[in-house]
Structure 1
Amino acid sequence: MGIIEVTNLHKRYGNTVAVDDVSFVVEAGEIFGILGPNGAGKTTTVECVSGLRTPDRGGISVLGLDPRRDRAEVRERVGVQLQGHQLPDKQTVAEAMDLYRSFYRAPADGARLLEMLGLAEKRHTQYRKLSGGQQQRLSVALALVGGPTVAVLDELTTGLDPQARRDTWDLVEEVRDSGVTIVLVTHFMDEAERLCDRLALIDSGRVVALDTPAGLVARAAAEQRVRFRPSTPVVERLLTDLPEVTGVQRHGQQVVVTGTGNLLQAVTSVLTQQRVIAQELRVEQASLDDAFVTLTRKKLS
Structure 2
Amino acid sequence: MSDQKKVAFSVLDLSSRKDTDLGPAPALQRSLDLAQHVERLGFSRFWVAEHHNMDAIVSSATAVLIAYLAAGTQRIRIGAGGVMLPNHAPLVIAEQFGTLEALYPGRIDLGLGRAPGTDPITTQALRKHRSGSSDDFPEDLAELQQFLGPRRKGQPIIAMPGVDSNVPIWLLGSSLFSAQLAAEKGLPYAFASHFAPRMMMQAIELYRRHFTPSAVLDKPYVMLGVPLAAADTDAHAEFLVTTTFLRILDLIRGQNMLKRPPVKSMHGLWQPHEEQAVNEFLSMAMIGSAETIEKKIQLLLQHTQADELIFTCDLYEHEDRLRSFDILAGLQS
Structure whose residues are more often helix by fraction: 2
> With structure 2 as the length reference, what TM-score do the two structures score?
0.32
| Larger CA Rg, structure 1 vs 2 | 1
Q: Calculate the TM-score normalised by the size of structure 1.
A: 0.34
